[in-house]
Chains A and B, each alone.
Chain A
Amino acid sequence: MGPWRPIALSGLLFAVLTLPAASQTAPPSPASGPGTARPTADQPRFQAQTAPRVTRPPPQRQPEPGAQGGAPQGGIDWKSAVTGARRSEGDQALLGKIDRDAIDRTAVPILLPADPALTGNARLYSFGDYYSLTADLSGVGVSLTGTTTTVTLPAQSPLKMSADAPEQLVIQRTVDGQLASFVRFGVLYTVEVRCDDPKDVRCRNDGLVRQIQSQTNRVVMGQAARQAAGLGARP
């Protein structure tokens, strides 16, 4: 018997005797917070798959620093945005029931369509540097967003689009509608329509989304936007 075997046996005995104590210091199992993935009796239990990978691809890349939320180059053209907001001051009726607190929390100029039928029942969700306005037409959902945050594509991955369209307007046909993306005041905006019936002609062609986008020219600036623009809190 070598000199280390008794020590190893002692270690084993020690480990066995102290196991309950050690288990008390183990980290608690993850709490079951809202939405925690936790199978219940009526659900199949998650089965871990241990089969080997089919391939061994090259290492995955994390986005470049700053690629996950940078501001647009050049920042916001506040001068043009303020001019637009002043021109829109007579259109307060467009605000309808839109949450004024959400407007005030939004630090980018909010674009609204000049159609009370769209804005009258709209709901605004503000994330500060991003907003999403949701409205309804008969059988069609309409969303408008604006943001100053973008992710940056790798240089070797160009976007298959033209940079020459006015305001970089791009219309993208989606599974359930049409998505217009454009840049104004240095802010990235969208107008999107979604049809309850995927065969609805209003979503199969881009006529409706272009119509709404072309009339989305009213500018609203709440408190956060006005402060960012160097203005007072209220006009």
Chain B
Amino acid sequence: MIRRTLPLLAVLVLTLGVTACGDKKPAAPSTPASPAQPAGPGEPVAENAGDGGSEQLPDEPLPTDPVDPVASPQPTPPSPPVPIDFAHNEAGSLIPGSGSGYLDRTVWSPQMCFPFEETAYANSQVHGPGGYKGPAGTSQCNAAAYSLPWRDNFCETRGYASPLCANGKGHQGQDIRPATCKKGVHWVVAAEAGTITDIGSYSVTLTGSAAPHRVYRYLHLQMSTLSVAEGANVARGARLGRASNDFGSTPTTIHMHFELRAGVAGVSTDGKPVMVHTFLPPYLSLVESYRRKINGGSCS
């Protein structure tokens, strides 16, 4: 009986002791037990971070080998999680033969929300599959158009003015295919908080509330099923409508043409100061926002 009861008592004592330990409040931030990394608001704080990992989070590895306490009195801090990345070509690297890309690497909308609710594929709808300058005999629904890597197409050869492009003309935005080659299915969302200042027959214009009041234009949505009306104030990440191929009386391929505009101060080619409201390259803002998205970032 005693032999049967003793182990049970031992477990009870251990459990009570552990519970009591669990009731301890975390040490005051001013007296850390060890030089732990500062944690941001809402982040889990490791109690007694230097005691051998007793409070390690479940997904962190526990030490399995003996550690020399003299040589290494502190356990090696866990490596920060490796961010997930995705395959994409460099900014300014256009499809060969489709023009000269814009090479500066400024991220013009650093906190932008990725403008699709799901995955999406930035590439060229003109020089890619199904495009009128794309590979012969391909369909717009070709798998190559719906796979990585991404490809920049700002400044791709066009007749449209675009003062940042090498010859002053070129594609004024980025073509983005939705998750699948289906129109009216995939949600497009607000890149930042702002107001819908215009809705055209195949365009939605969002003006950012905060300076510098970037203007985002979304073209070729399914205009008959938009979620917003002109004048609507929208939160970052709010649904605007679904990607489609609306383009007046002649549909285009299923994609969203995404533009980023702002007032720009710079110098002209002859070195004089100028101001112009024009098109900024959105590619790197898209890359950064998509990277945040696949790493669990939220737009809300």
With A and B bound together, what is the CA distance between A177 and B251 in angstroms?
A: 17
Instruction: Kindly state whether residue A230 has any CB partner on chain B within 8 Å.
Output: no
Q: Which of B166-207 contact A (CB under 8 A)?
A: 166-168, 172-173, 179-180, 185-187, 189-190, 195, 197-198, 200-203, 205, 207
Fill in one digit per residue for B236-268: 1 if any A CB lies within 8 Å of its CB, else 0: 111100000001111000000100001111111
B53–A11 touching, CB < 8 Å: yes
A181–B277 touching, CB < 8 Å: yes
Instruction: Kindly state whether residue A90 has any CB partner on chain B within 8 Å.
Output: no
With A and B bound together, what is the CA distance between A114 and B265 in angstroms?
A: 28
B274–A62 touching, CB < 8 Å: no
Instruction: Kindly state whether residue A92 has any CB partner on chain B within 8 Å.
Output: no
Nearest Cβ distance between residue A110 and chain B, in whole angstroms? 14
With A and B bound together, what is the CA distance between A181 and B273 in angstroms?
A: 15
With A and B bound together, what is the CA distance between A19 and B89 in angstroms?
A: 43
Given contacts A4-B66, A34-B238, A63-B107, A194 and B22 within 8 Å (CB-CB): no
With A and B bound together, what is the CA distance between A141 and B199 in angstroms?
A: 9
Residues of B within 8 A of A54 (CB): 87-90, 149
B203–A176 touching, CB < 8 Å: yes
With A and B bound together, what is the CA distance between A47 and B290 in angstroms?
A: 12
Selecting from B27-35, B54-62, B130-138, the interface stretch reads B54-62
A22–B64 touching, CB < 8 Å: no
Fill in one digit per residue for A47-59: 1 if any B CB lies within 8 Å of its CB, else 0: 1111111110111
Instruction: Kindly state whether residue B139 has any CB partner on chain A within 8 Å.
Output: no
- Which partner residue on chain A sits nearest B178 by CB separation? A44
With A and B bound together, what is the CA distance between A43 and B189 in angstroms?
A: 15
Residues of A within 8 A of B107 (CB): 60-63
Fill in one digit per residue for A1-23: 1 if any B CB lies within 8 Å of its CB, else 0: 01111011011101101110110
A159–B207 touching, CB < 8 Å: no
A188–B275 touching, CB < 8 Å: yes
Residues of A within 8 A of B173 (CB): 175
Residue A125 contacts which of B52, B117, B207, B277 (CB distance < 8 angstroms)?
B207
B63–A53 touching, CB < 8 Å: no
With A and B bound together, what is the CA distance between A48 and B167 in angstroms?
A: 37
With A and B bound together, what is the CA distance between A158 and B117 in angstroms?
A: 35
Which of B66, B189, B265 has the most chain A CB atoms closer than 10 A to its own CB? Answer: B265
With A and B bound together, what is the CA distance between A152 and B221 in angstroms?
A: 31
With A and B bound together, what is the CA distance between A219 and B199 in angstroms?
A: 26
Residues of B within 8 A of A61 (CB): 104-107
Instruction: Kindly state whether residue A75 has any CB partner on chain B within 8 Å.
Output: no
Residues of A within 8 A of B119 (CB): 46-47, 49
Residues of B within 8 A of A181 (CB): 275-278
Nearest Cβ distance between residue B182 and chain A, in whole angstroms? 10
Q: Which of B66-91 contact A (CB under 8 A)?
A: 66-67, 69, 84-91
Instruction: Kindly state whether residue B44 has any CB partner on chain A within 8 Å.
Output: yes
Instruction: Kindly state whether residue B299 has any CB partner on chain A within 8 Å.
Output: yes
A69–B212 touching, CB < 8 Å: yes
Residues of B within 8 A of A183 (CB): 275
Residues of B within 8 A of A164 (CB): 272
Q: Which of A87-145 contact B (CB under 8 A)?
A: 123, 125, 127, 129-130, 132, 134, 141, 143, 145
Chain B positions within 8 Å of A, measured between CB atoms, are 15, 18, 21-22, 42-45, 51-58, 62-64, 66-67, 69, 84-91, 93, 102, 104-108, 110, 114, 117-119, 148-149, 159-168, 172-173, 179-180, 185-187, 189-190, 195, 197-198, 200-203, 205, 207, 209-213, 219, 230-231, 234-239, 247-250, 257, 262-280, 284, 288, 293-294, 298-300
